[in-house]
Structure 1
Amino acid sequence: MVSARGPGARKRVGQAILHHYFRFAAWLFGLELQLQGPIPPGGSLIVANHHSYFDIVALAAATPCLFLSKAEVSRWPLIGPGAVAAGIAFVKRDSMRSRKAAMEAIHDRLRSGFTMVNFPTGTTCRSDETLRFRPGLFNSVAGTAVTLAPVSLRYEDGAADWVGDATFLGHLIQLAGRPRLRVRVVFHQTLNAADFEGPRLRERCEALVNEAPAFPLAD
């Protein structure tokens, strides 16, 4: 029996905190979510494209979830405090030991019924670009009972893109001056990782995520 005060309970509280925190952040910054497709069940592994720190806000506002995030996110304004409070798993990408521990954390939380989010490109790109997914995550879950949930994030324009030399705070202040920022969040049909080998699983998720139609959308 899981203790009401054990690690699992604390993560569930953290997941709820994260969900409500980022719903508030979405409202505060005028982030308008347009959701398409069924929300994946608890215990799914969401894999999504990555253009902005607002990707985190959009996904966490859309559905209760936890993230695997790079270590520096813990120090970001707005996002960092919520991530730390929610018990997000942070990884130092240049450390093999840290990457291994992060992968173990993903599997542990999935087995406990938490929805996890990963951005398998490992970095952001402009809205008119696509990047290849890194293979490590897909090789790790291929052949297991993990449910993969590919998700496409499509912004109304490129204003949200956080790329190049833009500083986090400067970019955030610029976006705060906009009355509205619309993003379409497309939840694709889930995949059973047990049915795939790693390379094919990566290719399938990458194709679904990158082929989703972009804006404009009808009001």
Structure 2
Amino acid sequence: MIVFFMIRLRLAWRLVRVIVHLLVGLLTCAPVFPRARRRLREAATRRWSRRLLGICGVRVEAFGAAALEHALFVANHISRLDIFVINSVYPCRFVAKAEIRAWPVLGWLADAAGTVFLARGNRRELRHIFKGLVAVLEQGERVAFFPEGTVGTRGEVLPFHANLFEAAVDAQVAVQPCALAYLDAHGSWHRGVDYAGEVTFVQSIMSILGGPPVHARLSCLVPIAGAGAHRRELAQAAHEAIARALVEPPRLLHAASPTAPL
């Protein structure tokens, strides 16, 4: 009985802290982000994401190659934590599915941080977004998206959609693959972070807050040249690199210690 009460108390305390942190994010984004320079936005995004993950009991470690400052980042998609894990180490402008905009508070924050929302099956919108992506890349920004178009299960990498890889070709920038994995204390795939199937946003967040600590592993892989390449070749090469990274022992680059479990 006492153990159950302590678990519920920890969950309630974490939930309160998350809500307060989200409100702080709202108050910060509204006056600062519209006029802030890139470096200030990135610093604020990194700091806020690390704090959020720390409250949720998520520790992030970064592995592999040095990340490019100017590239098209692509990663496998597993959890609602993915954007924040990447932003806690390598802040990016994200392309995300339109449903994320409807997430309570987090959707607004993602929008304020410059996320580009993509509606499925809308070819006209895709062309418009594609032009915007090329322009942002040409300005020296780092842009990221999840080319699977949906979430995969633990350790599985679904086929990549190649359309948005064309932005790297047109902007003549490299594609930087990143492999995401979430592990438990025993080094096995963490079951509490998934949100495939019918899991709602609230259910997913409560599962993370109420569950055991999460070790998020972000492996930054060797960049793939985009200039002169074909989008399908880029998509296939990135897919193979990420799938391979998920089964090979990673090489530690550095640990994002501010996201240690709290």
TM-score by length of structure 2 reads 0.73
CA distance in 1, matches of 2:249, 2:71: 29
Cα 1:11/1:161, change in 2 over 3 Å: farther
1: distance between equivalents of 2:153 and 2:83?
Answer: 16
Q: Which moved more, 1:47-56 or 1:72-81?
A: 72-81
* Identical columns (%): 26
**Equivalent of 1:110, from 137, 145, 160?**
137
1:196 matches 2:229: yes
Question: Could you tell me which of 181, 186, 210 is aligned with 2:219?
Answer: 186
Decide which moves more: 47-56 or 74-83: 74-83
Which segment is superposed worse, 8-17 or 42-51? 8-17
Which protein shows a greater Rg? Answer: 2
| 1:54 lines up with 2:81 in the alignment | yes
- Counterpart in the other structure of 1:90: 117
Q: Which residue, 56, 63, 66 being the options, matches 2:93?
A: 66
Residues 117-126 or 133-142, more deviating? 133-142
- CA–CA distance in 2 between the matches of 1:74 and 1:137? 20
CA contact (8 A) 1:154 1:215 kept: no
Change in 2 beyond 3 A, CA 1:81/1:25: farther
Q: Spell out structure 1 runs of 4+ moving beyond 6 A.
A: 215-218
Counterpart Cα distance in 1 of 2:216 and 2:159: 22
Instruction: Give the AA of the match of 1:205.
Output: A
Q: Which amino acid aligns with 1:59?
A: I
Partner letter of residue 154 of structure 2? S
Q: Could you tell me which of 125, 133, 149 is aligned with 2:160?
A: 133
TM-superposition CA deviations, 1:113-137 (whole Å, max 9, x none)? 1111110011101114221000112
Deviates more, 1:175-184 or 1:72-81: 72-81
Is residue 68–residue 116 contact of structure 1 (8 Å, CA) maintained in 2?
Answer: yes
Which position in structure 2 is the counterpart of 1:34? 61
Distance (Å, rounded) in 1 between the aligned partners of 2:170 and 2:79: 31
The residue that corresponds to 1:150 in the other structure is 177
Residue 87 of structure 1 deviates from its aligned partner by 2.2
Shift of 1:49: 0.5
Cα distance in structure 2, aligned partners of 1:57 and 1:160: 13
Counterpart of 1:3 in structure 2 is none
Give the CA deviation at 1:213.
Answer: 3.4
RMSD of aligned alpha carbons: 2.4
Mind listing any 5+ residue stretches in structure 1 that lack a counterpart? 1-6
Structure 2 SS opposite 1:69:
strand
2:96 aligned counterpart, secondary structure: strand
Q: Equivalents in 1 of 2:45, 2:170: separation in Å?
A: 30
8 A Cα contact 2:149 2:161, kept in partner: yes
Q: Deviations over 1:26-76 (max 9, x none)?
A: 111111111102342222110110011111111011112110111221221
- For 1:103, what is the secondary structure of its paired residue? helix
Structure 1 residues 177, 73: closer, same or farther in 2, change over 3 A?
A: same
The corresponding residue for 1:164 is 197
The whole-number CA distance in structure 2 between the counterparts of 1:215 and 1:194 is 28
Shift of 1:17: 3.5
Q: Secondary structure at the match of 1:123?
A: coil
Counterpart Cα distance in 2 of 1:190 and 1:215: 18
Matches of 1:11 and 1:120 in 2, distance apart? 28
CA change 1:39–1:145 in 2 (3 A) is same
Cα distance in 2, alignment partners of residues 23 and 190 from structure 1 = 25
